[in-house]
Amino acid sequence: MRRFTTRLTRITALAAVAAASVLSPAAASAAPAHDPVVFVHGWVGADWNWTEMVEDFESDGWSEDELHVWQYDWAQSNVTTAGELASKVDQVLGNTGADRVDIVTHSMGGLSSRYFLKFLGGTAQVDDWVSIGGPNHGTNAAYACWTTSCEEMRYESTFLTDLNAGDETPGGVDYGTFRSPCDEVINPDSSTVLAGATNTQVSCTGHVTLLSSDEVSEGVRDFVE
């Protein structure tokens, strides 16, 4: 009888383990520590622009699988790029099993990602969004270049007028911006500021060196944590 009871106990325990595995797949693998981060570069930029910041994220506890550096054709319209970004976000969510991503952008990368959020349903897929030195309300530097994307960065362009109409920070996304008083590309510096966002002015640094600034990197990590 004792032998039968012991055997029954073992069978019951195995059944409980099997049921837990079926009902709770998360038991087999730990949930991600962070939302996946998608990094979006700016005009004439590339994926390698994010090398130092990605290294900072990894040193601060993010895994390689949580960091996704994305490259696109910076000369095309930001509207086209927004559609491609939507596909990239779908891919990241599908590959990681996460519910939402964080998006970190530099310069013009903030515009296509904002279009994705505002017009392509991105607010349902994004937790935190960051603009580093973004020309959110235009810049005079855009009058010296002639790609479609560059023309869209001019003051009161049709693209910016539509993007900034109404709510500049729609949905339940946490919006954050970082700007420098010494940014030689985004003029005025206040162009980066968005109504409804957490807007931060950092120490004097240039437009490109915002990407390698320890102050900016730490601020971004704290914001998306």
**Residue 155, domain member (yes or no):** yes
**Residue 12, domain member (yes or no):** no
**Residue 54, domain member (yes or no):** yes
- Specify the pLDDT at position 131: 98
Instruction: Identify whether the C-beta of residue 123 lies closer than 8 Å to the C-beta of residue 82.
Output: no
Residue written as token pair 């109409």: 165
- Specify the pLDDT at position 8: 38
Q: What is the pTM for the complete model shown?
A: 0.86
Count of the separate structural domains present in the chain: 1
- Specify the pLDDT at position 31: 55
Beta bridge partner(s), residue 70: 40
Which residues does 180 contact at the CB level (< 8 Å), separation at least 6?
133, 189, 201, 202, 203, 204, 205, 206, 207, 210
What is the rounded distance in angstroms from the CA atom of residue 223 to the CA atom of residue 225? 6
State yes or no: pLDDT of 148 exceeds 50: yes
| The 67-70 sheet, strands edge to edge | 67-70, 37-40, 101-106, 126-132, 174-179, 198-201
What letter does residue 33 receive in the DSSP assignment? S
- Assign 167 to helix, strand or coil: coil
What is the rounded distance in angstroms from the CA atom of residue 176 to the CA atom of residue 221? 11
For residues 84, 85, 89, 90, the Cα torsion angle rounded to the nearest 10 degrees is: -20
What CATH number did the domain enclosing 95 receive? 3.40.50.1820
**Residue 143, domain member (yes or no):** yes
Q: The domain containing residue 180 runs over which residues?
A: 33-224
* pLDDT (tens digit per residue) in 40-83: 999 999 999 999 999 999 999 999 999 999 999 999 999 999 99
- Taking all residues of the chain, what is their mean pLDDT, rounded to a whole number? 89
Rounded to 5°, angle at Cα 20 from 19 and 23: 85
**Residue 20, domain member (yes or no):** no
Residue written as token pair 């109504």: 195
**Residue 21, domain member (yes or no):** no
Average pLDDT over residues 191-220: 98
* pLDDT (tens digit per residue) in 7-19: 333 334 434 433 3
pLDDT band for position 32 (cuts 50, 70, 90): low
